[in-house]
Structure 1
């Protein structure tokens, strides 16, 4: 078992000298490592304990630890703490990417990318490699045939099993079409239901930008519907549906992107009533839900017009692009045509991998581990930013931060980027003619060391406390 150095021992280390406090703390620890006072494997004190002993803020200590982790002089392990690194065990990791931003070959992260959630690897990569090997050795669908409906039946049945806890109403494999991620699933549904030369879709006034992008590809007009705390207002939805002869309403009722909001059952029933009166199809995007559904889906509430899309991108991995679109019961034929006419279907080895992955009992456990791993990151953000108007949920991998007076979203994002922290402004979630609130979305990047993520949250807090007019020039 590693030894744990006490906070009192670190307090005794020399920390005088020029420069910021966090660098002086880091330098004191480096001196202790070089002298042998700290040995490889020794556990450093918890951030808050050392901060109290030194009379400084936890953010200062977290930044000191991050410097050591980035320099590979320490190792941070979620749930265990920060340890003095063992040089003999270190190796140069393969460069990786998070949302297209490369990590350096020395293991340091060039940008703290909080634009989209980044999942931790808790063992799913190992499982996927194993299953890919099995598929390569004996692909059930073969390697010399076009994709076909019969060969993909096991994969669709695997999706039925995967969705067994989701309140979707009657569900059969014929209702499901495999897609290249959730975004492709959205496009397939819109291709299936939109008709006429100038179709119109309705979206929430703050909405996932993928709805608009899919609509633009289909030359459809997008109309935003005013919202309140429970989702879109039914009266506004009905008025706009009739005014524009809209055909589809796109929504994210379980985890609203970007606000983390939730549409309760009573409001969903009101929306279903509007959809039936106005003959609206309802497309539900459920890609961001990581925990248990809190209310029935629109497919269950309105089984003649409710369409459902989700994927494994936010619970296992986005790399495989495994998604699925679910038609109202008995209406899968049109959805299948959209897929077959568009791209014939997934590559057959990917369908075989989908079958193995979604039926492997280890996959369910890995999802639970991913959620558990991310909770300390969510707590770290709430602890740092909770004094502000912060939308968050313990099973949602992003936050919605309404900015205090003095900050505009674009200026705040630019100020954060000057600290190498990348976040998304509210403008990304409104249409070209829409008015964006002064807010930003901050995603959880669980591929960062927890100490580095926590430091980023404290740096954002410091920015929030000093809007531009209060910063001396």
Structure 2
């Protein structure tokens, strides 16, 4: 049993005991709890700390632990919040993020869902060392500049290439927060925003939360179609395009060199901005990623978004926006409204991480691991589920995009997969309008080990066979 599960078990036991005691009654000593429940002193100490934090007990050094006089509200005594339905009337409900991990997943579930690296693919030791070095800086807890540390902005500018300079960079709290800021800063509520179809659900959620209306523009094997993009700008009057030109989520498509120029030209002719979400630049499978759109843009058409959370850790909430002209001044103003600045220790840790040879070694190791996992899962699916259509074996990113055969519905397959302890992402969440067919997005980076991917494909085949027997 893991330490966390031992602590949770002991907390549950003590909560039951507390309900049978009166305020002020003394709980058994730590020594008694260790002997009675067969746990270690650290487990007891952390369980008591959790109960104290929630207000169930109070601790008195040298005396013991006692039932609190005012215990937290019991589970059956929920407050009446129905009045809030009236107070919130007229406001659209904020969209959910269906691609996030569910708390209801069984412990042995193989995760082909979500969009982050498993812990054993993250650079845990370099991250810890970077954070420790950052904490030792004498100015580690000083206020950070609103635009971000100059050293970190210089690193992001160098990664973007072209003539991008640190003055063009605004450090952000990860990619999702940057998207929310961008949509609110650039487009007025009620405006259309053009998006690839399919596209990243987090972008759809952020756009809708900002009051924007996503308008789909189809993609093909070469990425976003410039002809349909021009039509969409003309029909809608949109002044904003959101796209992922490199290792597109969910399909893995890379926008072709010719279209990279055409997309920017079409947007410039329409007087529109292009948000280039470059989240996967460090997620290639061994081949270098194409040059970012922003590197060849001198007129401020492209707003570039970069992030460190995907190749490093979900908790390294550091990203960057690259923009020129009045839009950057507007983003600076939005920064002053939203959060003033990004926490300096985290920025310093990012600088320490990106400035060491360990980061380059991690990226090389990660590229090899992702390429191996990608091919392994693709081969297993082709073997176990030959009637599922794989869009492509991508050269970067974290996912495979599959079209289900006719007659299979996404929710039905997902429920059957969950019953066989495999978590998947429904394809319909990646479309801003009606999906043309049933799809699933299957990730290969969140599983604990590569062998789990082969097992997941086997379980998915069993799940679909069970569906066929049920239909018969």
TM over 0.5: yes
In 1, Cα distance between the equivalents of 2:209 and 2:416? 34
Counterparts of 2:147 and 2:295 in 1: how far apart (Å)? Answer: 27
Q: Distance in 2 between matches of 1:178 and 1:273?
A: 27
Alpha-carbon deviation of 1:459?
Answer: 1.9
| Contact 1:225–1:233, Cα closer than 8 Å, also in 2 | yes
Matched, 1:116 2:114: yes
Q: 1:381 aligns with which of 361, 377, 384?
A: 377
Q: Deviations over 1:236-262 (max 9, x none)?
A: 222221222101100011111111112
The answer (yes or no) to whether the contact 2:251–2:401 under 8 Å persists in 1 is yes
The alignment partner of 1:355 has SS state of helix
Residue 361 of structure 1 deviates from its aligned partner by 1.8
- Distance in structure 1 (CA, Å) of the matches to 2:153 and 2:221: 36
Does the 8 Å contact 2:250/2:441 carry over to 1? Answer: yes
Structure 1: which 5+ residue stretches go unaligned?
1-91
- Out of 183, 186, 211, the position equivalent to 1:190 is 183
Q: Taking structure 1 as reference, are residues 300 and 205 closer, same or farther at Cα in structure 2, changes over 3 Å only?
A: same
Alpha-carbon shift at residue 282 of structure 1 (Å):
0.5
Q: Tell me the SS of whatever aligns to 1:177.
A: strand
Partner of 2:320: 324
Give, in whole Å, the separation in 1 of the partners of 2:317 and 2:110.
24
Give, in angstroms, the shift of residue 329 of structure 1.
Answer: 7.6
Structure 1 CA distance for aligned equivalents of residues 434 and 122 of structure 2: 42
List runs of 5+ in structure 2 lacking aligned partners: 1-42, 47-98
Shift of 1:455: 0.6
1:300 is aligned to 295
Q: Counterparts of 1:254 and 1:458 in 2: how far apart (Å)?
A: 31
State the Cα deviation string for residues 260-292 of structure 1 (Å, max 9, x = none).
Answer: 112101122222222122111101111124125
Query: Could you tell me which of 206, 213, 216 is aligned with 1:214?
Result: 206
SS in 2 for 1:121: helix
Number of residue equivalences: 366
Whether the 8 Å contact between 2:279 and 2:310 is mirrored in structure 1 is: yes
Normalised to the residue count of structure 2, the TM-score between the two structures is 0.71
2:193·2:240 contact (CA, 8 Å) conserved in 1?
A: yes
Given that 1:192 and 1:334 are in contact with CA atoms closer than 8 Å, whether structure 2 keeps it comes out as yes
Please point out which of 153, 157, 160 is paired with 2:157.
160
What is the correspondence of 1:133-144 to structure 2 with a 5 Å cutoff?
A: 133-140=132-139, 142-143=140-141
Find the counterpart in structure 2 of residue 271 from structure 1: 263
> Structure 1, residues 145-180: CA drift from partner, whole Å, max 9, x if none?
43324872122123334x1xx5x4211111111111
Tell me, in whole angstroms, the C-alpha distance in 1 between the residues paired with 2:462 and 2:325: 51
Backbone CA RMSD of aligned residues: 2.9
- Over 3 Å counting, the alpha-carbon distance change for 1:467 and 1:407 in structure 2 is farther
The 1:200/1:102 distance shift into structure 2, 3 A limit, reads closer
Query: Contact 2:110 / 2:447 at 8 angstroms: preserved in 1?
Result: no
Shift of 1:470: 5.0
Contact 1:225 1:237 in 2 (8 A): yes
Secondary structure at 2:120 match in 1: coil
Instruction: Map residues 236-255 of structure 1 onto 2, 5 A cutoff.
Output: 236-255=228-247
Name the counterpart of 1:148: 145
What is the TM-score normalised by the length of structure 1? Answer: 0.70
Misfit runs of 4+, over 4 Å: 98-104, 469-473
Aligned-residue offset at 1:110: 3.1
- Where does 1:50-199 land on structure 2 (aligned, <5 Å)? 100=101, 109-117=107-115, 118-121=117-120, 124-140=123-139, 142-143=140-141, 145-149=142-146, 152-161=149-158, 163=159, 166=160, 168-194=161-187, 196-199=188-191
Question: 2-side partners of 1:123 and 1:309: how far apart?
Answer: 21
CA contact (8 A) 2:447 2:453 kept: no
Q: Does 1:414 align with 2:415?
A: yes
SS at match of 1:427: helix
Question: Is the Cα contact below 8 Å between 1:410 and 1:425 reproduced in 2?
Answer: yes
Q: 1:279 to 1:406 in 2, by over 3 A?
A: same
